[in-house]
Amino acid sequence: MNLKPEWLINKKSLPKAICILSFLVIAALSSCGNGKDKNSDGQAEQVLDYKVLELQPRQATLNVDYPASLQGQQNIEIRPKVDGYVEKIYVDEGASVTKGQLLFKISAPQYEQDVRTAQAGIKTAEADLALARMQVNKVKPLVQQDIISRYELETAEYNEQSKAAALAQAKAALVNAQVNLGYTTITSPVNGVIGSLPHKLGSLVSASNTEPLTTVYNTANVYAYFALNEKALLAFTRDSSDKTSLSAKIAKLPNVSLILPDSSIYEHTGRVETINGLINTATGAANMRADFVNPRGVIRSGSSATVRIPNVIKNAILVPQSATYELQNKRFVYVVDAQKKVKNTAIEVMNNTEGQFYVATDGIKAGDVIILESSGNLKDGTVIKPAPVSAQSVYGDTK
């Protein structure tokens, strides 16, 4: 008995069997993708590693910066009180002076003459008073002996009183003349630094001059004036119990720092001392004043700086700024869910100065996992391979 395979017996079914076999092979190959997605070209997409951080509440200190103008503790304009010519200038611009140091000499001969005239007037008044007293002494015994009437004695006594008053008036005139003469010599009222000297030798000066002779800036202590907007001022005022006064609230503020124009931090911290009770209608802000000591005279009056006020926040959600991106005036982060899928999430952050972290107030919470490397091009649902990073390596010494 001669047996043959069925496919050899039925040669007509061969093409059909080949087609079925080919289909099964293609289906098997297509089902083997090693668990990888494919891109538009049909090639498998690789799951990339991303550094991620699990957010936990932390204590943070936010630094809020305010532009400030600096003024010395005293800015005293030196003006002449008498008319005359500038005879001598004993200091130069920018010189440091001490209280009582000689600054200017005003040439005013008329005041010297007034002093001499007043001195001569005193001598005349003294002579008149002496003569009047002699007359009283002469008349008094005659009245006692009833040689002349008492009227003569009273007349002599009244004349003596008149001459005494004239002497007092002459002495007052001398004091006034000496005061005016003293105004021709001008000294520094405080320790400080000399400003500009607009009037040169020989200039005619008077009390009515628009420009002062100079200005002495006492910068042993300096005042930094900055503005707090109405909204922030209202929040500051409300952030206290009913029993806490505004002055007590100011006293509890932390020390503030001063950022100098070269971006360096001033060596001494200061204190916020006052808040202006009046809001400027043009700017909608109230002025605040912070006081700083200036023992070495590093800070000059009239310069500008930045006042930095620290604000301690407990249980803050800190987000590294590098982990965020901005789109249409909104800030986003990549949140990774339990399935390792990415979701673009909008967050709200507190307004604070430029730094390394934002304080998130909405959109994310403690326990959320975010991607630390923001590229701004990950789509929702993208699967990643998380690479957890320790909080210590991200925040450093931040607590």
pLDDT of residue 392: 84
Max Cα distance, the chain (Å): 201
Residue whose entry in the numeric block shows the structure tokens 């079925």: 20
CA distances from 54 to 307, 316, 350, 371 (A): 34, 14, 20, 9
Residue whose entry in the numeric block shows the structure tokens 């605040």: 288
DSSP state of 211: S
Tokens representing residue 344 in the block: 């673009």
pLDDT (tens place) for every residue of the chain, 399 residues total: 444 444 343 444 445 545 454 554 444 444 444 444 555 554 556 788 889 999 989 887 778 889 999 998 888 999 999 999 999 999 999 898 999 999 999 998 999 999 999 999 999 999 999 998 898 888 888 888 888 888 888 888 898 999 999 999 999 999 999 999 999 999 999 988 899 999 999 999 998 889 999 999 888 899 999 998 888 778 777 765 556 677 788 888 889 999 999 999 999 999 999 888 788 788 888 889 999 999 888 888 889 999 998 878 888 888 888 888 888 888 999 999 999 999 999 999 887 655 688 888 899 999 999 998 766 688 888 898 898 998 888 887 655
- Whether 44 contacts 36, CB under 8 Å: yes
**CA distance between the termini of the chain:** 94
Tokens representing residue 280 in the block: 């400027």
Spatial CB neighbours of 154, under 8 Å, sequence gap ≥ 6: none
Nearest partner of 296 among 225, 217, 219, 196, judged by Cα: 219
- Whether 219 contacts 266, CB under 8 Å: no
Enumerate the β-bridge partners of residue 311. 62
- Whether 99 contacts 189, CB under 8 Å: yes
Burial annotation 89-109 (CB, 10 A radius, 16+ → b, else e): bebeeeeebeeebebbbbebe
Say what the pTM is: 0.61
pLDDT of residue 352: 63
For strands 102-107 and 185-187, give the pairing: antiparallel
pLDDT of residue 144: 83
Residue whose entry in the numeric block shows the structure tokens 């326990």: 367
Q: Which amino acid is at 182?
A: G
Q: Reduce the DSSP state of residue 295 to 3 states and report it.
A: coil
Tokens representing residue 88 in the block: 């001598």
Q: Reduce the DSSP state of residue 152 to 3 states and report it.
A: helix
Q: Which domains does the chain have, with CATH numbers?
A: 49-60+314-395 (2.40.420.20), 65-73+219-312 (2.40.30.170), 80-106+187-212 (2.40.50.100), 109-183 (1.10.287.470)
Q: How far apart are CA 341 and CA 132, in angstroms?
A: 117
Enumerate the β-bridge partners of residue 65. 308
Q: Reduce the DSSP state of residue 282 to 3 states and report it.
A: coil
Q: What is the CA radius of gyration of the chain?
A: 46
Q: How far is CA 33 from the centre of its chain?
A: 63
- Whether 361 contacts 57, CB under 8 Å: no
- Whether 101 contacts 247, CB under 8 Å: no
Q: How far apart are CA 271 and CA 29, in angstroms?
A: 75
pLDDT of residue 2: 44
- Whether 340 contacts 385, CB under 8 Å: yes
Q: How far apart are CA 338 and CA 368, in angstroms?
A: 10
pLDDT of residue 239: 63
Q: In what order do the strands lie in the sheet with 185-187?
A: 185-187, 102-107, 84-89, 204-205
CA distances from 60 to 224, 252, 357, 398 (A): 26, 18, 9, 7
Alpha helices in 4-146 (DSSP H): 6-9, 14-30, 109-144
Tokens representing residue 116 in the block: 């001499």
pLDDT of residue 353: 53
